[in-house]
Amino acid sequence: MKTMVALLALALSLPAFAQNPPKQKPTTLRGILLEDLKTTHNQEDWFAPASVAVDGLTPEQVNWKSGPNSHSIGQLTYHILFWDKQSLAKFKGETPEKFSGNNDDTFNDFDSKKWNDTVRELDEVMTGLEKVVENADDKQLAEWASTIEHIATHNAYHIGQIVYVRKEQGSWNPAKGVK
């Protein structure tokens, strides 16, 4: 009887499996790094990517803070953009933007009047990081892999904060992937 139930359950799940086959997992270092960058940029997977997290916000919403020691969505987004730009410049062999050494500046230099530009530039820089990985040779990938992984982890961490702030302020739609 148990065997019949198991076979019936398997048979009933096959049509759903055929319609939604499992996503092909990357098998190369390049593939893994690209997957990590893309899932924090604009590919929905286990969590909301940046493109979804910052979509549809007003200047008022991006300035909102839950308390005096918290960051706004705009500040978090600007912080991600700042560090991704620094890394992209280094990967491309360019001189990064000058940095005071004070990480607080990477949050506090946000200007809500430039919100749309910040979102557009974040998309461009994240796309640039993906292109760097796509075009890197194997030696560069090996040298850069740890840094790229840290970039993706850093981005995911702050994107999670953005979603949390949106939940606190009531501007998050749970249909976007995080209940």
Go through the domains of the chain in sequence order and give each one's CATH number: 26-176 (1.20.120.450)
What dihedral angle (degrees, nearest 10) is formed by the CA atoms of 45, 50, 53, 57? Answer: -150
What is the reported pLDDT for 23?
A: 66
Per-residue model confidence as pLDDT tens digits over 92-139: 999 999 999 999 999 999 999 999 999 999 999 999 999 999 999 999
What band does 159 get if pLDDT is binned at 50, 70 and 90?
Answer: very high
pTM above the 0.95 mark?
Answer: no
Measured distance CA(26)–CA(173) in Å, rounded = 30
CA angle 35, 40, 45 (to 5 degrees): 65
